[in-house]
Chains A and B, each alone.
Chain A
Amino acid sequence: MGRAAKAAALAVPLTILYLVYTGSWSLFEAVIGFAASFIVGLLFADAVVSRPSKLYSPVRWAWALVYAVLYFTIIELRAHAQVVKLIISPGGMKPGIVRVPYSVETDYAVTTIANSITNTPGTVVVDIDEKGKKMYVHWIKVEDETDEGARRHVSMVFEKYAKRIFD
């Protein structure tokens, strides 16, 4: 029962992905896609899903959507503008590696934060200390060397949304 529920929880997003990717919206395609996704879900459920109820929570999906829109418009725009400015006039550069602590629990949330930090130009995660719960981030223009200051500048928004989506 547990495994089937996990597989079904995984199969629904996979089916939607398959339908979008192939661009064919007939019932036949949906059934085929769901069957294949269910088999894939059975194989990978234990490694990918730990609590299937999270995948059925509409609140989490809504927060994920809000985060995606916010991230890919305002946050990325600001980061791109900063790095483009630095490329055109490299004078104002102050590169450095700072410590950024985080306080989320699940692996997915940690991955989301790390990917979000690296996907914004200007910050790249170099190393992670999972026991001490901190990331080492190469920052192209260090504005605050202290741990909490760097966290406020680099990952505060990502952490807030990652906690709501995955924790």
Chain B
Amino acid sequence: MIAGLVDAILYYLGAALLLIGGVLDVIAAIGMNRFRNFYLRLHAATVGAIGGGFYPLLGLGMIALTMHGLGETRLYIAGIAFTTALFLALTAPVGSHALAQGAHRGRVVLPEPVVVNKLLEDEEKQGR
């Protein structure tokens, strides 16, 4: 009884996370096209990586845990999904950091339009 309830909760929560992830992926793709600047597109990419990558993987793991017909295999699938989600959350910002810093240091793109740019102010103060 209790086990069935836990299974049902896991299944529907996982399905909801998968659905949300798909919707967020589409929205992130729209944002990539709508935003007209490199730095703004990084924000849309974050929506795609966390909302469209991390949460669906968690949902996949939850759904896999409820598939008792698979036997032991469901544990492999869930474990791989959960660890992939963990490492995605840990490593996705590394790429964003590298891209943002590289773009700034190389002066390849200017963050236009911009309200305030404290980084450029400080660098000009130090004469870099």
Contacts and interface: CB of A to CB of B under 8 A. Distances in A.
Given A95-B40, A97-B118, A138 B79 contact: no
A67 to B, nearest CB: 13
B50 A125 contact: no
Contacts, number: 132
A129 B125 CA distance: 14
A83 interface: yes
B80 interface: yes
Contact of A121 (B47, B77, B90, B113): B47
B42 A80 contact: no
* Secondary structure call for the B interface: helix
B67 interface: no
A95 B42 CA distance: 12
Nearest to B118: A99
B111 A138 contact: yes
Contact of A124 (B76, B89, B96): B96
B24 interface: yes
B68 interface: no
A121 B31 CA distance: 12
Given A24-B75, A87-B44, A136-B118, A118 B83 contact: no
Given A98-B116, A121-B47, A121-B51, A115 B75 contact: no
Give the one of A21, A122, A129, A145 with max B CB within 10 A: A21
7 contacts: A83-B31, A83-B46, A87-B47, A95-B115, A99-B119, A122-B43, A138-B42
Interface of A: 17, 20-25, 72, 76, 80, 83-84, 87-88, 90, 93-99, 114-115, 118-127, 129, 136, 138, 140, 142, 145
Interface of B: 24, 27-28, 30-31, 34-35, 37, 39-40, 42-44, 46-47, 50-51, 54, 72, 75-80, 82-83, 89-90, 92-94, 96-97, 100-101, 104-105, 111, 113-120, 122
